[in-house]
Structure 1
């Protein structure tokens, strides 16, 4: 739901809104019908739009530009608090963009097999889906188009060659998703409470914050990898010690 406008907040007409965000009236009405953008605020028989509509539209455009499907965009927007302000949404969008995964490449199953240099049966495709490397199109795996994270395809094919079981891929995906959400929530709170106030009010606040996140991303990824490797090594040593103690 759109935030009620404040007494000094500028209201925009439909044409003014579409011009500002660079979309068409038809697209805006379609997104509104799908619940991605709240309906206009009614003053009599006329509808008007606020900064809340602008922020949500720009977030939808950002997600769409990175290859998110309509269903994925709906799911992402559903995670926003119902009382999120335009500033909250703008901050979310600023923090989100540098962490976006690569845009998937659309290809047919035959094209995927040519790229893999091997035939792929349904079990193979199921494992690649479980690993998050292949995403079925609207018609499922049997349909025409698949969306493929090509930079990760080599890793997935290597795991297939090693006989990596699909049930393990599914379980690992659940672990990654659960812990990824927890890390994202804590980092988002950190930026919102400790970093954003430093830049809020600056004319280029969003651009500066985006650059901070861009520069921090390699360090964050390296820190997560190091923490994972250290924890796995610790678990390996614990397992060795337990086996030694039972001999």
Structure 2
């Protein structure tokens, strides 16, 4: 694993393409973490450089410094990937996605706010891993972004996700009860056979429920 390079303030500013004055301003605004002190010398490292490049990228995408500061605070207070995914993660159909903060902004544009970032972290959708963000499910990430593109605010997508989570937990409980009542042998193996069947039932029922709702809706 390569060693982290360290920089004096002037060196870091040059690498990031900003002035020392701007770097001091970012530090005062707590947009970057404090440097390591060695006597009177402040040492910065590659994590500071990555943060400065992220700030520049977010500014290019139209985010304000206040908004970036709020994002940084939410990012730093979020749970890490080990807390969300767990060390002994159970098998899952979901594929986690690694994102930079600016990559997340590319998905959600103006909706990539500190409030939405915090809500997604509370849901367990997002976790932190060093300078990166982990979304636990590529499918949920893509669907959330598609809903935002359709005009649904991300805050409402996340609020709806909480309600869906409650219903999904109830459905999972129902199928687990069936599994334990009517199957024999190791539960893990039985669940792997049961999982696609349960998903098919839920998908078919939801599809028919949407059809029923659309037929009942008056034409606008």
Fold-level similarity (TM above 0.5): no
TM-score (norm 1): 0.40
